[in-house]
Structure 1
Amino acid sequence: MNNSRLFRLSRIVIALTAASGMMVNTAYATDEAKAATQYTQQVNQNYAKSLPFSDRQDFDDAQRGFIAPLLDEGILRDANGKPYYRGEDYKFDINAPAPETVNPSLWRQSQLNGISGLFKVTDRMYQVRGQDISNITFIEGDTGIIVIDPLVTPPSAKAALDLYFQNRPQKPIVAVIYTHSHTDHYGGVKGIISEADVKSGKVQVIAPCWLYGRSHQRKTYWRVIL
């Protein structure tokens, strides 16, 4: 069997496997929440005893440097004003104990991730957190702003930039840095700069030399699986 036929066959096998898995999952899907089994409850209770959950230093650290909350409670709206993303929906009450169905460490991490808004990291460095699944960082250079990892989508990146500009001097963006090839680190770039900005030399985009290839490979693999 030549490589071409082998590749086509492997794609068929992967697609069928994924499809069968989705059918199985659908068959067991339900909208009703179920109580944790006795085993799950016991595991989570034992886990809660294994770590110092009374130590709240992480929460103090996560809130350090807070400047302002997300605009419009993190809501993104379509052209008609209808909400299609609510960042606040992903917030957890930071004082609520973990339910029996959730690992207490994962619950705590979700509580920390829900601490959102504009933050000062250090002198001349600021972050918007919670507007998307990743953080966007603004470095205030001598001639303009350097942006690191402009989130997943243009609307979320623009909302983060608007929040930053409402609280900091509106200097021009002179550079954008992509730290790696995950979509949440570059997907929203057109919400803060345009292709014309890059072509004219107004903005410099800095990325790893392998970023395009890695991101393309990842998308190709997922298309095969899905």
Structure 2
Amino acid sequence: MIETVLAAHRSYLRGWNDGPATGDVYRSGLPHAPLNGVLRVAGQEPDEAYAQACDVLAGVPRVWWVGADSDPGTAGALERLGAQPTARLPVMVAEVAAASVVPDPSGVVIDETRDIDEFVTAYAKVSGIPAEAVPRAAEREKAFGHGVLRLAARLPDGRIAGTTEAWFTDGLVTLYFVGTAPDQRRHGIGAALTQAVLRRAAVRGIPMAALTSTPMAVPVYERMGFHEVGQYQLYAF
């Protein structure tokens, strides 16, 4: 399962690449580190891979994902070359049919949105993407076509209180940009958005869901039936 999950993650992030594919290096050009980076080192000397990545990703904030699909010794090699560990992110999965049910927040309506500009504006505020970069992020989002499902949680006045993006590939749904507006947190909106993705995955016959969590959010996802199958160590370089 972990191999499928990590392959789906690589597939999604390559979709952000603004230009011809360059293997396991992707560059959106956006001033947001997770959207520029290296997905793994596999079958390549670390020094060579590091030099190539520094060249391709020059001028943008970037990260290096080190997980179970990276060659053994990658983390140590990166540290030797000067990369700095920044975060450890659990990789979690859940059986769609067995996921726990959570209550829908009162007064909040969750539904698919096709207004990509509005959707990106909402998640950019939560994710730390600068306002001036939103138009470019929206253009990259539009390049995904129909492979992505975008759900927005709306308040009675129409404002977006939370977002999530679902990537369907290889019999798996992977969640990204699960976020809630700061003034709407602790109302269960993020969990409800996750549940809404699982419901739609069930309709499509998708058996498994996956996501990369922050350590703080792990208990929330565990209550929904997710469990950890691996971790990513992120490096800044």
Please tell me whether Structure 1 or Structure 2 has the larger radius of gyration of its CA atoms.
Answer: 1
TM-score by length of 2: 0.24
> 1 or 2, which has the higher helix percentage?
1
